[in-house]
Structure 1
Amino acid sequence: MPWPWRRKTRRTLARIAIEGPIAGATRTRVLKAIHQVEQRECPALLLRIDSPGGTVGDSQEIHSSLLRLREKGCRVVASFGNISASGGVYIGVAAEKIIANPGTITGSIGVILRGNNLSKLLKRVGVSFETVKSGLYKDILSPDRALTEGERELLQGLIDSSYDQFVEAVATGRGLDQKLVRAFADGRVFSGAQAKEHGLVDGLGDEETARRLAAELADLDPAKTRTITFGSPPKRFAGLLPGRSQLRGLGQALSLELAWNGQPLWLYRP
């Protein structure tokens, strides 16, 4: 049943931004923000996504939380920014409507898992590993050796299962046939305009376009509706210094590469 909107929130539109790679910290922040939107009983949520995607479980938890918010009667509209790919798409399809810029980079529906085979390098520098394990596959994706055929088959099954979940979510969220989704869900990326042709987004426009749509869906006057942002990421002073933001971005990319090694990811990796 829809919420009995309280007077103080009847003209309030909530906004949550998902920016950068989707990982544990993002999940924690966004889930807390969604809970705050639920507690405030805001009639509509503008979900701004500017992300290449990230970890599977974190994306799924945000997706599920958004669906529960919609069940409570909150109207959710997603706005795709510069990029909303892979896990960003997965989260976005939990929204009732999606608006993208014509040039937004989106799509990249699929799963990727990477490991590092450093066996030749380790051999060259004289480093070797001694492994004691409880099962045949316990050291799968170990960096000191290549995958066996059995391990590759096992991991492919894991990827296929995750891919099926992704396709099902997109098909359900966008009201598309799964066969149609699979026809373009091969990792390719689209512009926002191309995504509209495939049914991945409902319309083209900027964040203000999405905000107005969210207000209208909740029977609010866009001109008289105030927007409150929940769960803003903390600002870092170092990011204001010349060159620091680029250095931080490079460091973040390296740390994520190491942290996500061996994990199935819903991530756009050019």
Structure 2
Amino acid sequence: MHNNLITCMAHGIAFNHEGQSVAPNAQPGATCLKLKTWACQEKDGLLFVFMGDQTLANTIPLPDFPRISDRHYRTRRFGQVVNCHYSFMHENLMDMNHQVLHSKLVGKMKPRFLGMESGESFVEARYTFARTGGKQPISEALIYGQRRRDGRDFAYRDIMTIRTQYPYQTLRIETQGIDEPVMELWISYVPQDSEELTNRVFGLLSIRRLKVPLLLDLAWPLLIAFTERVFFEDREIVELEQRAWKDLGGDHNAEVFPVILALRQLLRARGISPDTGGLNHDTQKRASS
């Protein structure tokens, strides 16, 4: 990439932003070469590539990230490749009944499902929690801004809202006595192969700063280590689910949770294949099996 031109290292042919070859020393006939282009836009350090009908690119709004510039929050960027279909990622975040799998990190947490809402392009679920065993990790105390030594005194005081606003997901945690959320998460999953059996995660995790100045900054490495361990366990879970799906030839679980059923319907309805213009085969197969 140089002077707003993309140059092929093998042939020395340069292309402009419209995909047209423009190199003056190109071989005869090279000006007929043209690359496929997509509308791109940068926002808050993330590059969004619009892969749909290019005539609609300017009509689709980008997501908002107000916490990045909010001095009351500190935001962490994260992401890596996960070896599973992106629908497993959506389900893992939406279904908080899997918290038992994180018990070594956060203690024994009992989730309570508060309800859900759904629409043409979204599914939203709300939960609250009670600690029934184990101690509160220091990292969690930093997020909530308080040390909770007796879990019974703080049972079901926090509300976690998880929303799939296709194709993105958000999560926020609100607690009593604090007007703004103590934590917000925005996350996106981008397939990395034609069969969509891998995806790369792009995430923004925002934590509200504590009353003591600079305390969150000093403890930031501790929070990063804690969230990395949680993400590692989640990654293990979804990759095991993907391997089981492949070995068994599909999903043989009898899913009954209304949130996940609504989520699968949303992914079936909104997942569009760029090659066929129809429902993405893997999404349709994964979500309906």
Q: TM-score, normalised by structure 2?
A: 0.24
Q: TM-score, normalised by structure 1?
A: 0.26
Q: Give the number of the structure whose alpha-carbon radius of gyration is greater.
A: 2
The structure in which a higher percent of residues are helix is 1
